[in-house]
Structure 1
Amino acid sequence: MAALFKGTRSLLQRCSHKQVDLTMVCRTMASKTPVGFIGLGNMGTPMAQNLLKSGYPVIATDLFPESGKELQDLGAQILDSPADVADKADRIVTMLPSSPNVIEAYTGPHGILKKIKKGTLLIDSSTIDPSVAKEMAVASEKMGAVYMDAPVSGGVGAASLAKLTFMVGGVEQEFNAAKELLGCMGANVVYCGQVGTGQAAKICNNMLLAIGMIGTAETMNLGIRLGLDPALLTQILNMSSGRCWSSDSYNPVPGVMEGVPSANNYLGGFGTTLMAKDLGLAQSTATSTKTAIPLGSLAHQIYRLMCGRGYANKDFSSVFQFLREEEVQ
């Protein structure tokens, strides 16, 4: 033990001599110190579980206390508020539904920044407006903390299997520290650039995902109307140029594929409300940058309409069922 302390002092002395940021050094060395996690929904819970599996003590909270029971049973400490988490952890991951939720969790009366420690690394994996990510970064910097946006792709299945893709924006020198944690929850961790670029990448990805899912649903509907077996049509698509993630990994037709929401009455997965929200972000950023997104705008209208027709809490692949009902009418 004495040799360990001696080696640590030596390393810190060398770093100090070379004017290296000691906060970054200490953060790297304390690899198994507690990690805060805020937001224990369909995505956040399995993500936090994978941190526990990797040996990190987890200190978590959620707006709904009952959401933390499963994680608590696995050994996590559940606290009352984001501020309480910030008081006990200097690395915090947030996974929240929308921009207002993130603003409240960071800057609200019981938010992270009320009790933040200097040098804390904040990683937000929510999907929010890039401008909000930049605002949170500025607010965090004023408190001596480092904020990075790191939205995810892959859905609940990938979250459970630690196979998410993280798109990270922020200070490049902090990327390795963020990657250490994100690598426990995902298979791909990609640095995109300054704060906000992670959100930009996620918005673009989800717009294409929504367009692709609507196209797949339309295609499957047409094929079924023409007398094709949906499983056979899927097989043909997946060995042809029409193949896409929505056809080969997340098929929207009930009975074609196991382990996806369409096999479970479209329960679980990525909700229609969240897809409509993400498409709204794409719409607003396209407007602000004067970018034409005709298919993205149409997809936004379709998913908003679905939310008003009883599909809000169903998986976004339920657009297949929605289109079939529209045909009947």
Structure 2
Amino acid sequence: MTAIAFIGLGNMGGGMAANLAKAGHEVKAFDLSEDALAKAKAAGCAIAGSAGEAVEGVAAVVTMLPAGKHVQAVYQESVFAHAKEGTLLIDCSTIDVETARAVAEAAEDKGLVAVDAPVSGGIAAAEGGTLTFMVGGSDEGFERAEAILKDMGKAVIHAGTNGTGQAAKMCNNMILGATMAATCEAFALAEKLKLDPAKFYDIASVSSGQSWSMTSYCPVPGVGPKSPADNDYDGGFAAGLMLKDLRLAMEAAETANAKVPMGSKAKELYEAFVDDGHERKDFSGIIRTL
């Protein structure tokens, strides 16, 4: 098995690191949170005193951090200074494409191999080891990363060169944000038209209006499979994270000179939802305002 440094043990990273340890890897974990470190230790990870200490002597480094600036800082201040030549760097954070490509180029200059591997699936999938990884990097980088990522997920897909993993993640979540908003609008309209939500679900879920947002993550309590709607929209995928992804998509669209009117409108809707104090609520909770 592989000696792996895992930096960033938040809601997603904690479960991911635990699954690597469960699979038999030697995991050296680091986070600024003492509670997160305690949970990682209980899950079988060794605890490092710093990010640099975690990186020393390992074959691979996995990072799961809030934003591009954090990835850049950890790479520049800790990883590049302590990683041995040839170390594989797997960044599972969701960040902008340009930063993903910049840190990969910097890593290559240091004799390291870097891939971007953002995830889809949420906290439950992180804990259950059923995430989907979208990987951007060289063929060599992907082959090496796949052997590690498969112990944390159900699907590991090579998207292309560095940065394309992040591109896939933001485009996927732009679809998700827009379709969830449309799904919520439709359920709200159906109710106002005196159509029972459960009956509407039975019809639309087997008709042309079907989508993942409806059949796997229905925003109406008591309708369809169990979802955060059945838990007062707690847990799941926080609206603040959806907004982050939509903003990244809008930034990428501007850079690429792409027109994304539906994605832009979804961003506006989630900005209003978050500004109303719902940042931590599941993103499907936007039905309450629609």
TM-score, with structure 2 as normaliser: 0.95
Helix, strand or coil for the counterpart of 1:36? strand
* Residue number among 238, 254, 262 corresponding to 1:271 in the alignment: 238
Any conservation in 2 of the 1:167–1:202 contact (CA below 8 Å)? yes
Aligned to 2:58: 89
Aligned to 1:197: 164
Any conservation in 2 of the 1:86–1:113 contact (CA below 8 Å)? no
* Residue number among 197, 204, 211 corresponding to 1:244 in the alignment: 211
- 1:81-104 CA distance string (max 9 Å, x none): 221211142211111221122122
Offset at residue 57 of structure 1 (A): 2.0
Any conservation in 2 of the 1:257–1:263 contact (CA below 8 Å)? no
Amino acid at match of 2:107: S
* Residue number among 225, 230, 248 corresponding to 1:281 in the alignment: 248
Any conservation in 1 of the 2:55–2:82 contact (CA below 8 Å)? yes
Offset at residue 258 of structure 1 (A): 5.4
Question: Which of 192-201 and 75-84 deviates more?
Answer: 75-84
- 1:231-279 CA distance string (max 9 Å, x none): 2222222111111111111111122245422111212221111111111
How many pairs are equivalent? 290
Question: Which of 139-148 and 192-201 deviates more?
Answer: 139-148
Identity, in percent, stands at 44
Unaligned runs of 5+ in 1: 1-31, 324-329
* Residue number among 142, 146, 169 corresponding to 2:136 in the alignment: 169
* Residue number among 171, 189, 200 corresponding to 1:233 in the alignment: 200
Partners of 1:289 and 1:84 lie apart in 2 by 39
Q: Would you say 1:145 and 2:107 are equivalent positions?
A: no
Partners of 1:305 and 1:178 lie apart in 2 by 38
Runs of 4+ off more than 6 Å: none
Amino acid at match of 1:63: L
Amino acid at match of 2:161: Q
Unaligned runs of 5+ in 2: none
Partners of 2:183 and 2:226 lie apart in 1 by 18
Partners of 1:257 and 1:106 lie apart in 2 by 43
TM-score, with structure 1 as normaliser: 0.84
Q: Would you say 1:154 and 2:118 are equivalent positions?
A: no
Partners of 1:220 and 1:152 lie apart in 2 by 29
Helix, strand or coil for the counterpart of 1:236? helix
Aligned to 1:41: 10
Report 1:65-76 matches (<5 A): 65-76=34-45
Aligned to 1:182: 149
Cα pair distance change 1:54/1:241, threshold 3 Å: same
Helix, strand or coil for the counterpart of 1:240? coil
Q: Would you say 1:206 and 2:173 are equivalent positions?
A: yes
Aligned to 1:316: 283
Any conservation in 2 of the 1:149–1:195 contact (CA below 8 Å)? yes
- 1:51-110 CA distance string (max 9 Å, x none): 1221112111112221122221122112232212111422111112211221222123xx
Offset at residue 159 of structure 1 (A): 2.0
Q: Would you say 1:102 and 2:71 are equivalent positions?
A: yes
Q: CA RMSD in A?
A: 1.4
- 1:17-51 CA distance string (max 9 Å, x none): xxxxxxxxxxxxxxx13211111112111211211
Partners of 1:241 and 1:234 lie apart in 2 by 12
Partners of 1:260 and 1:69 lie apart in 2 by 29
Partners of 1:65 and 1:105 lie apart in 2 by 18
